[in-house]
């Protein structure tokens, strides 16, 4: 169970991701609501620039912030130990609305996660697979292992049309709040499909560079999702 109650989104939101301090510095807070609903800051891309980062974050104190310090094994940009990633997340805990930690790192980062959650910060436990979309039973098992999370996030490589059906079934079967996305050449289509089926956090990029294969520009994704008709579960 969660250490406290977190407000879970009741409709699909767009997360705008930035993976460099330069891109963060170029963002204008007044323009963000048109581009995304949450701002994701990739702390693994900003190691060594913590002082400058804190100055930049002061500009976004009135906007919901999501922080992650990604492990290299799941797409991180700098090799950091679990302890180093815990320290990075703790350093921004007072500014965070959400943190995202890989499910595989949960045990090694448990103490830091608990401390941050006591500050009423939501927890996303995530799984990334840059090679394939696992079998349906494997995806379901991942969701079950991440029951501690406020939102479970699955990001998997899509290589064939069957991957859409597999992930859609997992998304629709589970009542646990989820974020689900495909990556690769078929990834862009998946971002809309899964938002329509209830994926709560849908990631696009801010600036010039995607932070994962298959991402949309955040503003375009937000406009596209706003035009969707939700699919009602039966």
Active-site residue, from 153, 197, 219, 222: 153
The Cα 190–Cα 182 span in angstroms is 6
The Cα 13–Cα 221 span in angstroms is 10
* Number of domains composing the chain: 1
Quote the domain boundaries for residue 180: 13-226
Sites in the chain below the pLDDT cut of 50: 1-3, 234
- Give pLDDT, residue 2: 42
153 assigned to active site:
yes
From residue 232, alpha-carbon distances to 46, 122, 132, 173, 194 in Å are 41, 26, 28, 13, 13
- Give pLDDT, residue 209: 76
The Cα 220–Cα 54 span in angstroms is 28
Can you give the CATH number for the domain in which 111 is found?
A: 3.20.20.70
Phi, psi of 48 (to 5 degrees): 90, -5
119 assigned to active site:
no
- Look at strands 65-68 and 178-183 and give their pairing: unpaired
> In sequence order, what are the residues at sequence separation of 6 or more whose Cβ sits closer than 8 angstroms to the Cβ of residue 208?
23
Nearest Cα to 150, choosing from 186, 202, 104, 97? 97
Q: Is residue 5 part of a domain?
A: no
Please give the helix or strand (H or E) that residue 85 lies within, else none: helix 82-91
Q: Is residue 144 part of a domain?
A: yes
The Cα 31–Cα 206 span in angstroms is 11
Which neighbouring-strand residues pair with 205?
17, 217
- Look at strands 178-183 and 151-157 and give their pairing: parallel
- Give pLDDT, residue 152: 98
Q: Is residue 4 part of a domain?
A: no
The Cα 178–Cα 36 span in angstroms is 18
pLDDT in tens, 102-145: 999 999 999 999 999 999 999 999 999 999 999 999 999 999 99
Active-site residue, from 23, 61, 114, 128: 128
Q: Is residue 122 part of a domain?
A: yes
**Sign of the alpha-carbon torsion through 94, 150, 103, 157:** negative
**Sign of the alpha-carbon torsion through 133, 137, 138, 143:** positive
- Give pLDDT, residue 5: 67
- Give pLDDT, residue 230: 62
Nearest Cα to 76, choosing from 43, 51, 122, 110? 43
> In sequence order, what are the residues at sequence separation of 6 or more whose Cβ sits closer than 8 angstroms to the Cβ of residue 233?
172, 198
Q: Is residue 86 part of a domain?
A: yes
pLDDT in tens, 74-97: 988 889 999 999 999 999 999 999
Tokens 């990739």: give the residue.
42
**Sign of the alpha-carbon torsion through 190, 193, 194, 195:** positive
Q: Is residue 113 part of a domain?
A: yes
Q: What is the pTM of this model?
A: 0.92
């Amino acid at each position: 169970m969660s250490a406290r109650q977190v407000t879970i989104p009741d409709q699909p939101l767009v997360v705008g991701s930035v993976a460099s301090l330069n891109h963060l510095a170029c963002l204008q807070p007044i323009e963000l609501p048109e581009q995304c609903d949450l701002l994701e800051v990739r702390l693994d891309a900003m190691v060594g620039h913590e002082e400058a980062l804190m100055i930049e974050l002061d500009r976004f104190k009135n906007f919901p912030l999501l922080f992650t310090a990604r492990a290299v094994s799941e797409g991180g940009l700098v090799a950091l130990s679990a302890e180093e990633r815990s320290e990075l997340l703790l350093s921004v805990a007072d500014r965070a609305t959400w943190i995202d930690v890989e499910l595989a790192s949960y045990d090694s980062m448990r103490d830091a996660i608990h401390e941050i959650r006591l500050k009423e910060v939501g927890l996303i436990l995530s799984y990334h697979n840059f090679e394939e979309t696992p079998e349906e039973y494997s995806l379901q098992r991942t969701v079950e292992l991440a029951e501690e999370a406020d939102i479970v996030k699955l990001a998997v490589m899509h290589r064939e049309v069957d991957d859409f059906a597999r992930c859609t079934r997992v998304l629709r079967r589970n009542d646990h709040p989820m974020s689900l996305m495909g990556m690769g050449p078929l990834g862009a289509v998946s971002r809309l499909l899964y938002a329509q089926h209830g994926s709560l956090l849908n990631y696009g990029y801010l600036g010039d560079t995607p932070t994962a294969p298959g991402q949309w520009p955040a503003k375009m994704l937000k406009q596209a999702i706003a035009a969707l008709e939700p699919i009602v579960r039966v």
